[in-house]
Amino acid sequence: MTRREDRFLLPLDFSPKKYSLRLEPNLQNFTFEGVVEIQVEMLKAADSITLNCADIKVHKAHFTTASGKVFNTSDISFVEKDERVVFKFGSQLTESGTLHIEYQGELNDKMKGFYRSVYTWKGEKRFMATTQFEANDARRAFPCWDEPDRKALFEVELIVDRHLTALSNMNAISTHSDPDTGKKVVKFATSPLMPTYLVAFCIGEYDYIESTVQMEKGPLILRVYTVPGKTHLAKYALEVGSKVLPNLEKFFGIPFPFPKMDMIAIPEFSAGAMENIGLITYRETALLYDEKNSTLSTKQWICLVVSHELGHSFYGNYVTMEWWDALWLNEGGAVFIEYVLTNELYPEWEIFNQFVQLDVGNALILDSMESSHPIQVPCKRAEEVDEIFDAISYNKACAVIYMLSNYITLDAFKKALNIYMKRFAWKNAQPQDLWDAMTEVVGTDIAQLMTGWTDQTGYPVIEVHPAKDSNGKRALRVKQRRFLQRGPSDDKTQWRVPISYITDKSSTPQYFLLTQEEDIITVPENAKFIKLNGKQTGFYRVQYADEMLPSLVDAIRTQEISAIDRLGILQDFCALAKAGYTDAKQALTIFSAFETEEDYIVVKALATNVLSFYGIIKRNPSIEPLFKEFGHGIFDRLGRKFGWHAKEGETDLDALTRTTVLGILKKLEHPETIKTGMEKFRAIAQEEKSDVVSPDLLGLVYAIGLSEGGKEEYDAVLNIFRKTDLNEERVRVLGSLGATKDEELLKSILKEEFVLDEVKAQDLMYPISSVVGNKKGGREKVWDWFVTNFDSIKRRVDNGFLFGRILKTAASEFDTEEHRKKVEDFLKTKELPQLKRSIAQVLEGIELSAATRERIEGSITPDSLKKLIEDQKKQ
């Protein structure tokens, strides 16, 4: 963690107590006029006051002391690179008082700060004004102390055209019309203490639906806002929000701390959603659900995101991290609570299994790179945080919280959380504060256990060998070493690992805390199999001694072991093989143990892993066709069983399994799947029927139509994109376009007038990632496009978070040393200080892909694949 004195912070001479903010946005010329009066407390006399400020023109400013003395500014200077403004007053300010600033700002089109978002209504372009302040962009809306621990009260007044709706964090307390201008003046209640990054305003034409939720302290109005004509898509989010809010209070054991809750879908939005106090903003695909056209995955996604954002009401909004290096306190907590809350609403989704497969799975991959970073990431300057909104701060943070909550029990975890939240209510906290509360409840030193996980990069692989303990009883020798995608290393990092195991005798995980490099665990004498990381709650991989494998493979075959544990064995096996800890051939043999598998999460993991191997060898003509055949052998049975249409009484997980199985069969060019898919495509495109297949399969059918068809099919899909006003449908089309086998069409996707003009900047990564995966030179085309259009892409996506994602996608399929060199040489010519970490990850990623490909190609030969295929046929 950075010490306060090492951070680049505003001086501690004056501190804000309350902001009174008056803003008048102009949606014709995209500017706004602002007046801010900040009550400041003097901590130390000074002759100047420094605040954060960016893209703002200050008209004038003065300081009025508590005793009524007025100091006019003698000098206003901007330090652009630090995004600061300094007001000099000519003489010492020796009292607290009020800083008064009048200024003008820009409603930019960069999806950050106070910005404009465009949408179409009745064939006409319309604009709204909205905000995205996290992490460092409140300063674009008003000069402020833009640091998370400079909490203050906010009193907001918005002056808008009469026909517009104005929203902010708090409820409106008065609305009147200005007799001179005819404009509407909306004044909002004073907020509780908030950091600047949680302030928000939205001004535009909106419709809404609402419900009254019974909360502990009385009824609370929950509203979901959309652009005009879309409230029918808001019903599901409203239903989720209404159910989640009371459960949230129950989980934390604290009454909901804010007076109202608005959730609003914004047509152009850089992240998924933003947890502003009382006014949560979402990208449309994370909030709007169309019963006829949305997929089940979208439904799950909305439930998770709404739960996540509402969960921030406590994790982040009520108790805030002191500084950005502990961003994970907000985000890891919010990810954890999103799964807890979703699981309460839909136990049938077994959503924690999905968490382990996807969230933990992705965190394990990123965190096995040397260019990964600790959860608790040193952050000297606030802008460094932009790169930290990643799988480590969200998923790994949540994974280690999940590991801890299972180790100390969820009840103990909740009790400690309640103590922590009450103790730091409306204040800021550090990780140590959370660990202290945990230690109080469980009686052992939790900081000692957890800091290894939060302050060190990476995680261990646990090697397990059969052994005897000192009494000659059956035991396991366990040894930790850091797991790296690069392959076994002598890295000496160690963790305190809560190792658990299950056996055929007991599926309740038994714990053992590994506190040194290696140790001996006594285990039941008569167990048939012993599987470590019971229920996959731990953040580590396991490598078993060869002699332990047959009993585990048997347990998979007979399904004596639970689905999540089958998934765990599979994931570790494949990861170890790809990283060169074991032979890749061995990983392929384990697939055959899943010959009767039908559990959704295991099928999903099978598909993900088969696809990942396929991705590595798909450009190698000597093994690609055989690998596909091998893949068909794994999924063909499931394809026939689940078919293309829902069976009566099937569950949501059955539907998800169908989507997964047909999806992987399509990617492996399974002839029968392609043929049926093409029939479905014709019915949709030529007969203009939309209900030929479930929306879950639409993206797949578009991709099949594109890959098997030509220009006509391409135009038909593009037509769907142009006609719809459902963003989910647009994204679905964008994500399938790259499936075309026609090189000219592939090129036309990347033409500026399409990808930069017609596709929203927020959605740019979808067509890019779809083209980059195309075997027919997709990766070269995307990289050339990135290089040639670098400046216009950067202009269009002037947003560190989104631009970083596009860069990572553009280089994601490269896998040779020449590729790495090419990317490095190009990036060297560009000034991208905010993407230092992403660039290091891109370059290491290519290097690792090259090594993995060579390893796999060296091990999986045509003969070994032929042998596997023969074995499949015998089964």
Positions marked active-site: 309
**β-strand partners of 62:** 72, 100
Q: Which of residues 660-719 bind Zn ion (CB under 5 A)?
A: none
Which among 126, 79, 87 has a CA at the least distance from the CA of 230? 126
CA distances from 802 to 117, 211, 394, 715, 771 (A): 16, 34, 17, 28, 18
Cα 276 → chain centroid: 17
Q: How far apart are CA 94 and CA 309, in angstroms?
A: 42
Q: Is residue 341 close enough to count as binding Zn ion by CB under 5 A?
A: no
Query: Is the CA virtual torsion 231, 233, 239, 240 positive or negative?
Result: negative
Cβ neighbors of 396 (< 8 A, separation 6 or more) are 332, 363, 366, 367, 375, 539
Q: How far apart are CA 26 and CA 158, in angstroms?
A: 11
Give whichever of 351 and 856 is closer to Zn ion, judged by the CB atom. Answer: 351
Query: Is the CA virtual torsion 808, 814, 816, 820 positive or negative?
Result: negative
In one-letter notation, the amino acid at residue 474 is R
Give whichever of 363 and 369 is closer to Zn ion, judged by the CB atom. Answer: 363
What is the smallest separation between the CB atom of 241 and Zn ion, expressed in angstroms?
16
Q: What is the token pair recorded at 624?
A: 């690609």
Give whichever of 1 and 306 is closer to Zn ion, judged by the CB atom. Answer: 306
Residue given tokens 């285990």 in the structure block = 523
Give whichever of 359 and 572 is closer to Zn ion, judged by the CB atom. Answer: 359
647 DSSP assignment: P
What is the smallest separation between the CB atom of 766 and Zn ion, expressed in angstroms?
22
Give whichever of 61 and 334 is closer to Zn ion, judged by the CB atom. Answer: 334
Q: What is the token pair recorded at 114?
A: 């106070």
Q: What is the token pair recorded at 557?
A: 């075959």
Q: Which of residues 301-340 bind Zn ion (CB under 5 A)?
A: 331, 334
What is the smallest separation between the CB atom of 308 and Zn ion, expressed in angstroms?
6
Give whichever of 331 and 763 is closer to Zn ion, judged by the CB atom. Answer: 331
Angle at 441 between CA 435 and CA 442, to 5 degrees: 85
Q: How far apart are CA 433 and CA 412, in angstroms?
A: 16
CA distances from 226 to 236, 260, 283, 528, 761 (A): 13, 17, 11, 57, 20
Instruction: Return the half-sphere exposure (C-beta side, CA atoms, 13 A cut-off) of residue 426.
Output: 7
Which among 784, 775, 764, 765 has a CA at the least distance from the CA of 740? 775
In one-letter notation, the amino acid at residue 261 is M
Give whichever of 135 and 334 is closer to Zn ion, judged by the CB atom. Answer: 334
Q: How far apart are CA 39 and CA 55, in angstroms?
A: 23
Q: Give the residue nearest to Zn ion (CB).
A: 334
> What is the DSSP secondary-structure string of 585-602?
HHHHHHHGGGTT---HHH
Binding positions = 308, 312, 331
Say if strands 460-468 and 474-482 run parallel, antiparallel, or are unpaired.
Answer: antiparallel
Give whichever of 261 and 782 is closer to Zn ion, judged by the CB atom. Answer: 261
**Distance from the first to the final alpha carbon of the chain:** 55
Give whichever of 387 and 597 is closer to Zn ion, judged by the CB atom. Answer: 387
Neighbouring CB atoms inside 10 A of 753's CB total 8
What is the smallest separation between the CB atom of 435 and Zn ion, expressed in angstroms?
21
Q: How far apart are CA 571 and CA 592, in angstroms?
A: 14
What is the smallest separation between the CB atom of 417 and Zn ion, expressed in angstroms?
17
Q: What is the token pair recorded at 302?
A: 């909305």
What is the smallest separation between the CB atom of 334 and Zn ion, expressed in angstroms?
4
In one-letter notation, the amino acid at residue 389 is F
**β-strand partners of 120:** 125
What is the smallest separation between the CB atom of 306 and Zn ion, expressed in angstroms?
12
**β-strand partners of 510:** 501
Contact 603, 636 (CB under 8 A): no
Backbone angles phi, psi at 746, to 5 degrees: -60, -40
What is the smallest separation between the CB atom of 338 and Zn ion, expressed in angstroms?
9
Binding positions for Zn(2+) = 308, 312, 331
315 DSSP assignment: B
How many chain residues touch Zn ion (CB under 5 A)? 2
Give whichever of 336 and 573 is closer to Zn ion, judged by the CB atom. Answer: 336
Give whichever of 85 and 334 is closer to Zn ion, judged by the CB atom. Answer: 334
What is the smallest separation between the CB atom of 281 and Zn ion, expressed in angstroms?
12
Task: Report CA Rg, the chain.
Answer: 28
What is the smallest separation between the CB atom of 385 and Zn ion, expressed in angstroms?
13
CA dihedral 99, 102, 108, 110 (to 10 degrees): -10
Residue given tokens 């979901």 in the structure block = 224
CA distances from 818 to 529, 814, 822, 835, 850 (A): 46, 9, 6, 22, 10
What is the smallest separation between the CB atom of 787 and Zn ion, expressed in angstroms?
33
CA distances from 47 to 17, 58, 86, 88 (A): 19, 19, 10, 6
The residues binding Zn ion (CB under 5 A) are 331, 334
